[in-house]
Amino acid sequence: MDSVKIRVVIPVSTDKWNDSVKADYERVKEPKTVIDVIHLQHGPEAIQSEYDEANAAHHVLKEVAKILPQDYDAIIIYCFSDPALSGAREISTIPVLGIGESSQLFAMGLGDRCGIITTIEQSVARIRRKLRARGISGRFPTIRPLNIPVLEYDQREKVMESALGVARIMVEQDGVEALILGCGSLFGIQERIGDELGIPVVEPGIVTLKHAEMLVGLGLTHSKRSYMIPLPVKEN
């Protein structure tokens, strides 16, 4: 294989995150991987509710539909909510990964009791529902919010202090043994949390890139029996 071409779809209508995701991915990708980051032209600027998820999902699918198997080897939907993940798999013959699912399965290989730090209180119930839909909620006893909206995530010091405090409560009170930073934009602060609390901290975006490279390398994609090709239907 000459190169592995991965298209990253940031499912929000702002280019605010493109450069940092691109830069982070460039740093950790395999040499032969070629990363290409796009965002949505339309839809919400942030995904913080199931309402936002639904408003972004169809735009994600339009982007996925445009990605031809001859041009790309895998697709990453870069949002912990995994908007449109199942639908995208249905219409795609190359691997489609969501940073939520990929990081959750990965964390289960690191520790028994996993926890998720999310952005705001509004996200706790919807993440819980996703874990349950995957049949893995028994391994995720706790989800706690930072209570910082995602668009304020460039205030790194504030986010860092808050994340450390919440993580400490999760380790000491909830018995968390491995932690996921449940937001694509927390990138870069995992080491400090891991160092201070002595548990592995998973950064979903990075993990998912490696997951994608792995699938491509193995020549595997999601099961078309779990994500069957949709019957054609007229769209108005």
**72 binds its own copies, rule: CB under 8 A:** no
Report if residue 16 touches its own copies, rule: CB under 8 A: no
153 touches its own copies by CB under 8 A: no
**Burial (Cβ within 10 Å: 0-12, 13-18, ≥19) of residue 230:** exposed
Residue 58 contacts its own copies per CB under 8 A:
yes
Q: Is 27 in the site for its own copies (CB under 8 A)?
A: no
Interaction mask 112-141, its own copies, x per CB under 8 A? xx------xxx--xx-xxx-xxxxx-xx--
Among 3, 19, 42, 147, binds its own copies (CB under 8 A): 42
Residue 209 phi/psi, 5-degree rounding, is -60, -45
Q: Does 202 bind its own copies (CB under 8 A)?
A: yes
Beta bridge partners of 96: 75
Nearest-angstrom CA–CA distance, 121 and 19: 28
The pair of structure tokens assigned to 10 is 């940031």
- Distance, CA of 180 to CA of 143 (rounded, Å): 10
Place of tokens 């694509």: 184
Determine, following the binding rule CB under 8 A, whether residue 223 of this chain makes contact with its own copies: yes
Hunting for tokens 């839809």 — which residue is that?
Answer: 43
Compute the least distance from the CB of residue 61 to its own copies, in Å.
6
Task: Report how far residue 203's alpha carbon sits from residue 180's, in angstroms, rounded to the nearest whole number.
Answer: 6
Tell me which residues in 75-114 interact with its own copies (CB under 8 A).
Answer: 83-84, 86-88, 90-91, 97, 101-102, 105-106, 108-113
